[in-house]
Chain A
């Protein structure tokens, strides 16, 4: 079962930051927060992951609350190509990836 809760859909204006929230109140100490996205009719793409510290890479930033019960994925300057379904997944390093419904992000011109 998915261990996360995400809003089903969000809109974001092109060029603005997209902030996608995720609740994972039952996360265990050895579980990471992973984010993937799936552009229509493609396989999922890894974005970023973190354990307890905030993380940043060339695609996005991940902000994890101090109690680790929620996190936010930030796309700093959303483009039309960022329109996709974003999946927040909580798992231990060796666990299989179980997908929830995710958030459908629409970037609007």
Chain B
């Protein structure tokens, strides 16, 4: 089945630095990828939609200059948290959308990245 690899699985960084998270679709081409964040005991919140070769679309309230998304190829999207602060500490999850044999659009999720900003 479809597999999405997310790296790193956890990262600790100092306040003010930037952190990059990678999301790769391993065995299918994903023209569209999604980025979510999840705080403890809460549900996943969609941050942005990234389309290969074009600018990402951000959900209301998400700062595009803080959360930089690049979708340079059909198998790779990256999320960079710039000038990280402790309040950016969260669980970040990516998802890739690929067309199934049946013609539906299946969504596969990465395993998530735990970001801790100290």
Quick check: A102 and B43 within 8 Å, CB to CB? yes
8 Å CB contact of B105 from A41, A45, A93, A98: A93
Q: Mark B84-118, 1 if CB is under 8 A from A, else 0.
A: 00000001010100000000111111111010000
User: Taking A96-B34, A97-B34 as contacts, is the C-beta distance between A45 and B109 under 8 angstroms?
Assistant: yes
| Chain A interface category by residue count | 20 to 34
Closest Cβ of chain A: how far from B52's Cβ, in Å?
Answer: 16
Contacts of B111 in A (CB 8 A): 42-43
Interface size class of B (residues with CB under 8 A): 20 to 34
Closest A residue, CB atoms, query B100: A93
Complex: how many Å from CA A32 to CA B103? 14
By beta carbon, the residue of chain B nearest A42 is B111
Q: Which B32-55 residues have a C-beta within 8 angstroms of A?
A: 34, 36, 43-46, 49
**In the complex, what residue of chain A is closest to B109 when comparing beta carbons?**
A43
Within 8 A of B (CB), among A1-58: 32, 36, 38, 41-46
Name the distance in Å between A98's Cβ and chain B's nearest Cβ: 6
Contact with B93, one of A32, A43, A87, A98 (Cβ below 8 angstroms): A43
Question: Is B104 in contact with A44, judged by CB distance below 8 angstroms?
Answer: no
Encode contact with B along A70-102: 1 for CB under 8 Å, 0 otherwise.
000000000000000101000001101111111
Q: Are A43 and B43 neighbours in the complex by a CB distance under 8 Å?
A: no
Please report the C-alpha to C-alpha distance between residue A97 and residue B95 in the assembled complex, in whole angstroms: 9
Whether B110 lies near A46 (C-beta < 8 A) is no
| A→B interface (CB under 8 Å) | 32, 36, 38, 41-46, 85, 87, 93-94, 96-102
